[in-house]
Each structure stands twice: as C-alpha cells, then as structure tokens.
Amino acid sequence: LSGFAADLGGTKIAAARIEGGAVAERLQTATDGAADPDAQVEAIGALLDRLGHRHGAPLGVAVAGRVDAAGCWHAVNRGILAAIDAVPLGEKLGRAFGGGTALNDADSAALAEGLFGAGRESDSFAYLTVSTGVGGGLVLGNRLISSGNGMAGHVGFVSSRHASGPCGSGRRGTVESIAGGRAIAAAAAAAGQDVADARAVFAAADAGASWAERIVDASAGAVATLIGDLAAILGTDTVALGGSIGLAPGYLDRVGHALGAEPALFRPRLVPAALGHDAPLIGALAARLGKDT
Ligand code: ADP
C-alpha cells in the first residue's frame, strides 16, 4: 500500500506519504472550520505538495462528515464544518490532484483497523471513536459497511437509554449526547464545576473526584450499551476503541466494566485501536487502492 492520504477533521488537517502500508512522512495544520470547500482542498494540496505528491498519484482523503456514493461531501454537524454542504469532493479531488477517493474519517479508520490493525482477526468488527463526538465504522468480512447516502456506520447517533440531551447531529438522547467530549464538558459545567474540557474532567476523575467519575462512567456506560446493541444487530465479535477519550488511560477498563453487566452474547472482545492517528490516513488509501496493493 503506497501513495498519499489526507485526513480533514474538525480541528486539524493531516496528510501523509504512505509506503508499504506505513506512514513514511506526516504533516499537519489546523483546520479553519469556516473555510469554503475550495479553501479546504487548497489546504490539503499545500500539505501534499510538501510531501512530494504529483498529479495523478494514488490519493485517499478522509473527512469529517458523510460522503455519499456520488462523492458528495456533507457536514453532519454544521457547528464543526460550517461551509460544507453537498460539496462535489470527488470532482474537486480529480481536478486538483488528478484523482482521489473520499470517505468519512471514522469509516476510514475502521477500514484500516479492520484490515491491518485491531480487527484483523475479526469477521464482524466495529471501530468506535470517542472524541469531541462519537463516531464509528463497521467492517464485515473485510468490507466496510456503506450506504448510498454515506450515513451507514454513524453509530454515535443511535438513541441511548442513558441520555436525553441534544447532540451535534440534531437528534436528542443519542450516545454522542452523553459520551462525547463535548457532552462530558457540558455535564461538568452543569454540575457547577469550573473545568475547561473533557481532558480536565478525566484528570479530576483520576484524582478521585466523585462528580468527575460519575460523568466519565456515564460516558463509558453509554458506549458499553452501544456495544451490546452492535452485537445484537451485526453479531459484532470485536470492538476497537479509538479517539482521545477512547484511548485515555482507564477509559477502556470502565467500558469493559460496564459491559460486564451484559449477557455473554452481547459482550464482544474489547481492545484499544492499534493504528492510532495514522488509521484514517492508511484506511483512506486502502479505500482507494484495495487492501493488497
Ligand atoms: P477530534 O474530536 O478532533 O477527532 P480527539 O480525538 O483528540 O479529536 O478528541 C478531542 C476530545 O478529547 C476533547 O473533548 C478533549 O478534551 C478530549 N481529550 C483529549 N485528550 C484527552 C485525554 N488525555 N484524556 C481525556 N480526554 C482527552
């Protein structure tokens, strides 16, 4: 697997030159959430130029939001990418770079983990990213589950019996609305705590503050219930957790503890994501080239 990849998220744009299935060189810049689509593609292009990309070289691009079967890119959470609405991204990549496959960033990471990482041995694999929000991707028999509208696999937007608040998607009572970083920070503020972000809530929980442990356990509990639901729907046998919260020390153990309340059939193997922040980059190129290239 050799070529180029980019990963455009809510906070950063990363790009890489990939050789033999591994990241050989990686560059990163901050995302301008208000920038228009052409400016976003230009920002990707600036990184690719520095990495030595030539017109027509293999390129995969992972983006926050959904990408439909026609290669159109839509923000799901307009609070994060304000100007992205039905953008013909496939066409733009063709014009700017001589080709390129675009897909959702969590799907892309799921594909990489499923083919080469934590889900290699699995035939029904789910990747969950717990970060600012909660995203995911589903890989069955080495194939990413996808739908024409690009929504398949957005598992953070399913309803949770633990939740009732609003979420970035516009739905209420979703897993994301209680488990994501934004939700964790909001819960701390609602509890009258003066903390900056989810990371600070985790630090307080580590220091033994019971208010913070309750909030982190509520997040972990909602993720565990989601995992049980995935086992029921898809026969999921392995779940990998990624994202800064998913990989935060102690979080996987809390999810595992909550999952312990489920009957055995609803308790897939739970493991940390193996490819870290390279996963979306590697998966995007794999989507472009196929796993054996
Ligand atoms: P993104 O959402 O842009 O993909 P991340 O996966 O880094 O980015 O997730 C960002 C969220 O993770 C924020 O809510 C942040 O407060 C939280 N976070 C970052 N580092 C840690 C950490 N070490 N422990 C717990 N939470 C963290």
**pLDDT value of position 293:** 59
- Token pair in block for residue 7: 């990963």
**Ligand 1 in reach of 205 Cβ (< 6 A):** no
Q: Is 180 in the pocket of ligand 1 (CB under 6 A)?
A: no
Q: Which residue is it, tokens 């509208």?
A: 149
Q: What would the DSSP string read from start to end of 128-170? A: EEESSSEEEEEEETTEE---TTS-TT-GGGSB-TT--SB-TTS
State residue 123's pLDDT score: 96
- The pLDDT value given to residue 161: 95
- pLDDT score, position 91: 97
pLDDT at 102: 97
Whether residue 245 has its Cβ less than 6 Å from ligand 1: yes
CB distance 140 to 230 below 8 Å: no
Give the Cα separation of 246 and 225 in Å (integer). Answer: 15
Cα→Cα distances 257→223, 250, 251, Å: 11, 11, 10
Residue 48 has a pLDDT of 98
Indicate which residue's Cα is closest to atom 7 of ligand 1: 244
What distance in angstroms lies between residue 199's CA and the mean position of ligand 1's atoms? 7
Task: Give the model's pLDDT for residue 33.
Answer: 87
Interstrand relation of 143-144 and 238-242 (parallel, antiparallel or unpaired): unpaired
ipTM of the complex: 0.97
Q: Is 99 helix (H, G, I), strand (E, B) or coil?
A: coil
Q: Is 33 in the pocket of ligand 1 (CB under 6 A)?
A: no
- Check pocket membership of 291 for ligand 1, CB cut-off 6 A: no
pLDDT at 86: 93
198 within ligand 1 shell (Cβ under 6 A): yes
pLDDT block averages, 10 residues each, the chain of length 293: 94 95 96 92 98 97 95 86 90 97 96 96 97 95 95 97 91 97 96 96 97 98 98 98 95 98 97 94 95 65
